[in-house]
Structure 1
Amino acid sequence: MKDMIRIRGARENNLKNVSLDVPKHQFVVVTGPSGSGKSTLALDLLQRECQRQYMESNGESGESLEKPDVDSIDGLSPSIAVNQHRTNRNPRSTVGTVTDMYTYLRLIFQKKGERRCLNCQTLIPPPVDEQEAIHCPACARVHEPLTKAAFSFNTPSGACPSCSGLGTVTDINKDAVFQMDKSLEEGAVTFWYDSVRQYYTAILEAAGGYYGLDIRGNKALNAYSEAELDLLFYGVESDTFARHFPHTKPPKTVSKGKFEGVLTGMWRRYQEKNGQSGEAAYFILQECRSCKGERLKKETREVTVCSRTLPSICKSSIHDLHQWIGDVQRFYKQADDSLLHTVLHDLSVKVERVIRVGLGYLSLDRNSVTLSGGEAQRLRLASILGSGLTGVLYLLDEPTAGLHPKDTDGLVDIMKQLCNLGNTVLVIEHDPRVIAEADHVIDVGPAAGRFGGEIVGQGTLVELMNQPASITGTYLKHERRLQGAKRPGNGKTITIHKANKHNLKDVTASFPLQTLTAVTGVSGSGKSSLVFDVLAEATPSHFEGCQHISGLEHVDAIIRVDQAPLSRMQRSNVATYMDLFAYLRKLFAALPAAKERGLSAKSFSFNTPGGRCDRCEGLGQVAVDMHFLSHVQVECPVCHGKRFKEDVLAVTFSGYTIADMLNLRIEESLALFDSQKKLTSLLQLLCEVGLGYLQWGQPVTTLSGGEAQRLKLAKELARHTAGHTLYLLDEPTTGLHPSDIENLFVLLGKLVDAGNTVVVVEHTTELIAASDWVIDMGPGGGDAGGKVVATGKPQDIAEEKGSFTGAFLAPYL
């Protein structure tokens, strides 16, 4: 009992009265096909029950957290879930701040920083006492001591006053707003439409008359004087314009020329609507001119330790930080400063853990919002290891997402270290190499949705391979391989010439058209920069981050399908995103029972008043204030989670209410709509991209990055784009069981065979080996990457000795 978590009679979601024992203090992997019930077992069952029991043990009511549908769970420990959902959207949050590495660096710079005298620029040595003022050894000028807060961009004493420590400022792209070679009548202000243009032109001409300026509707802006442009840009009440007429009071009425100014008005509307104004697209983020993106005040950003400033360390990779720490340790080796030695040692250990999970290419100033789900999870995992907690149940959701096979061993080592501390690590994972390293494997299956929810295998991987019911064991035992089509392409290419975006080092790369091309390489090698920051943003007449792109005229459209969240709205779900729900509402509204009750399609919407439950406003849940804890969502006491009013729920289609339909899984509902061709084609498409296990009403906010991407892909495919389309996908296999990758591979092949081109940024070795063409980036990540290591067929990459990817390809060819 002590060494087991004992689950009896679990019926949560699709689990079929599951009973099993999970060994504690071991590295346990839960695997199985997508939608089979892995997340339900780990997160919905174990995590929620851990939270509920923890609250009850602290004398708080556990009623606010719904008890999972299970007879009993014994032997639980306090749990920490490390998943891929990014909750921190604070623009001030960086890799350095979330890992606490930046806090350590601030302390080092406070203690050992050398600064320049503000008077004579002489180098002032580090202070002996950080609390006392220091004197310049040359001119004796007194300098106030720099505190730890002075090195923080999140405090007034440290932040650059121009950008408030963000390193960027929001500005208006004037080139997009004004066409200087045109007159107002010709559309010089690009977002003014006919009636608006006439109205504002009349006011500006009146203002011109008021001040004696030559402002006419037919005069090109490049012929305006400085005062005339200031009037147009900033308005009559601005200081910028008033300096031209210091003794003239501005007009009081519109008829006399009271004009707000184009840019002034844009700023006002932008601020009033929190950045969501109609002209928001004209606002751009630019590097702060004062601090050049370094975030700190001038005095602190110039302080050095071992010849490096704090901003320069933060902009370089964590690999470089590790080297610098070594330099500082050697320089101060003889110093009698136990605090410094402790800080340097602890920081070094933190850095080594981050490098060990394959994130050494990240920089400390990288905004945490821009991290992928896998990166954020591994970063948190590396931080957790330093906590020293024991007796904890760690629940991880696919930590290898976005990780090159080269770095998998380091990640497994970190997880095993957590076990060695006396913890239990339970991981949802599909990677065969991670499964092989597990102490215990739980295989959930045999398929998705209602066809899953059973434990089809347990034990080590070798034991699983000898259990015929185990889907994972059977798949890995027979070593089924994807069969590549070895397409030669149509002879045409798109070529990026001398790309230098981010860490790319004058990269020239060609993408053969009408092929499946995999862009590979270790994490941070420049794959996404090449494909999504250069190629995806290009048009035949415009490209950035490279010298030139040739061949774009051969494709009719570029469709980018990445892992960015689909929506942050709780109301957006799979059915609404795919436009399935609109068809369903019309179908229900056309039923005789709906007509008898006077119900329209609007009555079957949970997003508008009418048919939806008034208490929860169609969400099925209401928030409960937990006082000092975050709010918890519980079932609505009026509709009991059904979202709609009773008269709406009285209408059924094939025995299902509109609420029942939202709880159905995609593949389960296929048989209901044989006569509805449009609905059936959309449902089949979702099954083809491996999402048949999702429920109609599943909120898109709960989808993983891989699921979100495949849902976007399904929506794009539903549009039936004409002509040659270039599809750019970011790790589409994320979250897929090896058996599901086959289905996705077939779909991608169909796209290519239909005359399109598919480019995937990918780490899954099996898919790379079956691709038609490979572009391998590297050799390392960050500054150590940004080059093309090899290009060619998968066999060519496998034979390239300098390719990390090639080393893992050989067994698959």
Structure 2
Amino acid sequence: MTVDGNSIQLSGVRVNNLQNVSVRIPWHQLTVVCGLSGSGKSSLAFDTLFAEGQRRYVETFSPYTRQFLDCLERPDADRIEGIPPAIAIRQNAWAQQSQGTVGSRTEIYDFLRSLFVRWGTEYCPECAVEVRAWNPQTVAQHFSDAEVAGRIMVAFPSQEAADVLLSRGFTRVLQSDRSGLAVVAVEEMEQNGECLVVVDRLKPGPDSRTRLVESLATAFFEGGEQCCVLTESTVAGAELVSVDHSEWYQSRFSREPVCSCCQRAVAHLNDALLNYRSLGQCSVCQGQGTVATFDLEAVADMAATVEGGAVLVWQEGPGRRQQKQVLESAAELGLRTGIPLAELSVQERRILQHGVAGSSFDGLDGLYQRCLESRAEAAAKLRKKWNSISRCSACNGTRLNEDARAVRLNEVSIADVLDLSVSRLSEWLQSLAARLPDVAGSSVLRQLRNRVSYLDDCGLGYVASSRALSTLSGGERQRVALTSALGSGLINTLFVLDEPTAGLHSSDASRVIRVAEQLRDCGNTVVVVEHHPDFIRAADHVVETGPAAGREGGQIVFEGRAGELVQSQTPTGKLLSRPTPGEALQSPPRRRPSGWLRFDNATCHNVIGVSGA
């Protein structure tokens, strides 16, 4: 084989069933490896090309670092040259990641968090009132924007004694009297209860801006991160008070995000708050979005009654005690035990599932938790038999706690945005850019739009960013990984793909082909194990293994351009040369069904309320 500087050269490869083959993979081109199943395609693409590319990349690290990395074995070959660092995207990639989602894998979730941190607004989860953390500069700007007229008093709340305040240089306080507030000298103040210590009195204006900021800084420091500003003119959100029989408007500020209505403290708005792997995770499901429990509908016969043993998990092991408790305390719990479960009210079903607060009856959830904590064999057996996974009721499957869900941008939370399909997310980003000009020109929005566009181009416009990776098919996972690869901006890298069109309708295959071509056009070498005729025709270079499977395969039966493959007599060449590839295939005779599998109102992911047979 001729050695050149523009390709990957493999000589004498003997991996698995490959029989001492030699092949050339051109750099910066789209190469398709095709052939019969078992003919050696994956052995060439993954066990040779990817394995050697990753092995050489890992060897560039220090010996200390390499001990923490998984290194693939050196492929059995005489010579491998010109191979760049390699990334493999296989059909079973990240299938078991319990917390991985489409959004996290494609970095859509990361950029959405940046968007909400920069332009989002915190609200109190209980009062729905805007919550904000203030500092001297933002408070001064707040009154500057309000164009306050008249005098301003800057103060802070305190319960210190008069001599302490005097020692710190403060001479006036605001104390409550019968008519409201009154300005009194520190020496004359009453020594009981809280008062407002006056830091400064000034008139607003450009010349007093620096003085106002300094006074606010002093008030925040002395007041334990809290301060109070009183103005003679009205300000949005201010409370009307009487000071020395005159009307003033009082505004309270805190460096900590605290609700002005219920005084509930809220976490600071930052990236960690909106991350379900960090401070923002739901405390019940630990950021999983689901919990394991005894689900009522899964462990009960809904047509039977509680008295008739409808709850099957209560008929064995430690469940019998809870059955007895329900029958004895039905009236107290507010349960009707003599009618079918299907006819119980929503509240009664909720009692059976979650129990009653303040009561010894903790429902099926409590029974599952006791079985989980128990070391008894009967409890473990009961849990394994009736265990079911259900959506977390605390976060409604969003994985986020209530503080994170209360952050809003363009009137929606980040959980709402993640639940949008990719197509609808693109529309939301467009409307956001129209409403907020500052967002429109940001690099964060540009990166988000690129990744959403890549997903849509791959035929995944129906998938939500919150969709768990473990629920995707192999082909869907690969296309998500393609989006991640395009968004990474990597160049001079070898990407090895494993049938990215798997599970796709033929009309959607062209989208994936375009994405693979984009990856190539970025300056990468793309090798695809693929059977789809359109993908093979779109390739710059084609390698076919064969001529058969197993020991009869492992040879290179064709190497060249797709147009030349059509003229060859290889199995793939014959298939591509047919005007309609399926016309020569004979379908087996249809069998007559012996029965029907029926389903009613099936709902899962993007399947909603489907019935059929």
Normalising by the smaller structure, the TM-score range is 0.5 to 0.7
Matched residue, 1:151: 274
- Offset of 1:95 from its aligned partner? 1.2
Q: What are the residue-to-residue correspondences of 1:334-353 with 2, within 5 Å?
A: 335=438, 341-353=442-454
- Residue 51 of structure 1 deviates from its aligned partner by 2.8
Residues 3 and 276 of structure 1: CA distance in aligned 2, closer, same or farther (over 3 Å): farther
Of 413, 416, 424, 1:312 maps to: 416
- The equivalences for 1:103-502 within 5 A come to 103-116=110-123, 121=128, 137-139=236-238, 140=251, 142=253, 144=257, 145-156=268-279, 158-174=280-296, 177=299, 190=312, 222=338, 240-241=359-360, 266-271=368-373, 277-333=381-437, 335=438, 341-468=442-569, 470-479=570-579, 480-482=581-583, 483=585, 499=601, 501-502=603-604
* C-alpha displacement of 1:315: 0.9
Distance 1:464 1:240, change over 3 A: same
Cα distance per residue 1:485-527 (max 9 Å; x no partner) = 6989869995979846257xxxxxxxxxxxxxxxxxxxxxx6x
TM value normalised by structure 2: 0.65
Deviation at 1:19, TM superposition (A): 1.4
In structure 1, the gaps of 5 or more residues are 215-219, 224-228, 244-260, 504-525, 531-544, 553-813
Distance 1:131 1:271, change over 3 A: farther
Q: Does 1:34 align with 2:37?
A: yes
Contact 1:4 1:22 in 2 (8 A): yes
Contact kept, 8 Å, 2:28 with 2:525, in 1: the verdict is yes
Q: Matched residues in 2 for 1:267 and 1:408: separation?
A: 47
Counterpart code for 2:573: G
CA drift of 1:433 comes to 0.1
- Structure 2, unaligned runs of 5 or more: 140-224, 229-234, 239-250, 258-267, 331-335, 340-347
Q: CA deviation at 1:94?
A: 1.3
Question: Is the CA contact 2:15–2:77 (under 8 Å) kept in the aligned structure 1?
Answer: yes
Cα distance in 2, alignment partners of residues 192 and 300 from structure 1: 38
Percent identical among aligned pairs is: 32
2:90 aligned to which of 83, 87, 93: 83
Aligned residue for 1:677? none
Shift of 1:402: 1.6
| TM-aligned CA distance change 1:304 to 1:427, over 3 Å | same
Contact 1:112–1:127 (8 Å) recurs in 2: no
Deviations 1:427-467 (A, max 9, x none): 10000000000001001101100111111111112201222
Distance 1:297 1:64, change over 3 A: closer
Distance (whole Å) between structure 2 residues aligned to residue 360 and residue 407 of structure 1? 11
Give the deviation of 1:50 after TM superposition: 2.1
Query: Deviation string for 1:87-118 (max 9, x for gaps)?
Result: 35233221111211112111211222244467
Indicate conservation of the 8 Å contact 1:456/1:471, yes or no: no
Q: How far apart are residue 53 of structure 1 and its match?
A: 2.9
The Cα shift of 1:297 comes to 3.2
Following superposition, the deviation at residue 352 of structure 1 comes to 0.9
Give the whole-Å Cα distance in 2 for the aligned partners of 1:188 and 1:457: 65
Report what 1:648 is aligned to. Answer: none
Show the 5 A alignment for 1:53-92: 53-58=56-61, 60=63, 65-87=72-94, 89-92=96-99
Q: What secondary structure is seen at the aligned counterpart in 1 of 2:514?
A: helix
Distance of aligned partners of 1:476 and 1:87 in 2 relative to their CA distance in 1, 3 Å threshold: same
**What are the superposed Cα offsets for residues 670-705 of structure 1, whole Å, 9 maximum, x if unpaired?**
xxxxxxxxxxxxxxxxxxxxxxxxxxxxxxxxxxxx
Which residue number corresponds to residue 767 of structure 1? Answer: none
Return the offset for 1:125: 9.2
Q: Which amino acid is the alignment partner of residue 138 of structure 1?
A: G
- Letter matched to residue 106 of structure 1: R
Report what 1:14 is aligned to.
Answer: 17
SS of 1:241's partner is coil
Q: TM-score, normalised by structure 1?
A: 0.50
Local SS of the residue matching 1:457: strand
Shift of 1:370: 0.9
The alpha-carbon deviation at position 363 of structure 1 amounts to 0.5
Pick from 101, 105, 115 the counterpart of residue 98 of structure 1: 105
Q: Give the structure with the larger strand fraction.
A: 2
Q: Tell me by how many angstroms 1:382 deviates.
A: 1.2
The question of whether the paired residues in 1 share the 8 Å contact of 2:123 and 2:408 is answered with no
CA contact (8 A) 2:458 2:512 kept: yes
Whole-angstrom CA distance in 1 between matches of 2:537 and 2:444:
37
Instruction: Using the TM superposition, give the Cα deviation of residue 153 of structure 1 relative to its aligned residue in structure 2, in angstroms.
Output: 2.4
Whether the 8 Å contact between 1:99 and 1:379 is mirrored in structure 2 is yes
Determine the C-alpha separation between the residues in 1 that align with 2:398 and 2:364. 31
Secondary structure at the aligned position of 1:321 is classed as helix
Change over 3 Å in CA distance of 1:498–1:72 after alignment to 2: same
**Inter-CA distance 311–439: structure 2 relative to 1 (3 Å threshold):** same
Q: CA-to-partner distance for each residue in 1:610-656, whole Å, 9 max, x for gaps? A: xxxxxxxxxxxxxxxxxxxxxxxxxxxxxxxxxxxxxxxxxxxxxxx
Counterpart CA distance in 2 for 1:188 and 1:130 is 64
Structure 1 or 2, whichever has the larger Rg, is: 2
Following the alignment from structure 1 to structure 2, what is the Cα–Cα distance between the partners of residues 73 and 269?
Answer: 57
2:52 is equivalent to residue 49 of structure 1: yes
The 2-side partners of 1:459 and 1:357 are apart by 27
**Structural mapping, 1:737-756, within 5 Å:** none
**In the alignment, is the contact (CA less than 8 A) between 1:302 and 1:309 conserved in 2?**
yes
**Alignment-mate amino acid for residue 310 of structure 1:** I
Q: Which of structures 1 and 2 has the larger relative contact order (alpha carbons within 8 angstroms, sep 6+)?
A: 2
SS of residue in 2 equivalent to 1:381: helix
Size of the aligned set, in residue pairs, is: 467
Separation in 1, partners of 2:563, 2:120: 56
In the superposition, relative to structure 1, how do residues 20 and 332 fare at CA in structure 2: closer, same or farther (>3 Å)?
same
Letter in 2 for 1:471: P
Check the 8 A contact 1:114/1:126 in 2, yes or no.
no
What's 2:190 paired with?
none
C-alpha change, 1:276 and 1:72, in structure 2 (3 Å) is: farther
3-state SS of 1:70 partner: coil
Whichever residue aligns with residue 115 of structure 2, its letter is I
Question: Following the alignment from structure 2 to structure 1, what is the Cα–Cα distance between the partners of residues 136 and 113?
Answer: 16
Equivalent AA in structure 2 for residue 48 of structure 1: A
Which runs of structure 2 are paired with 1:774-813 in the superposition (5 Å)? none
Contact 1:113–1:125 under 8 Å retained in 2: no
- Secondary structure of the residue aligned to 1:386 is helix
**Aligned-residue offset at 1:141:** 5.7
Aligned equivalents of 1:191, 1:115: Cα separation in 2: 43
1:668-687 equivalent positions in 2, closer than 5 A: none
What amino acid does structure 1 have at the position aligned with 2:275?
S
SS in structure 2 of the partner of residue 149 of structure 1: coil
Q: 1:119 to 1:380 in 2, by over 3 A?
A: closer
8 Å contact from structure 2 (residues 296, 311) kept in 1: no
Name which of structure 1's ranges 274-283 and 408-417 shifts more when overlaid on structure 2.
274-283
SS in 1 for 2:87: strand
Q: Deviations over 1:49-69 (max 9, x none)?
A: 223333444465899743322
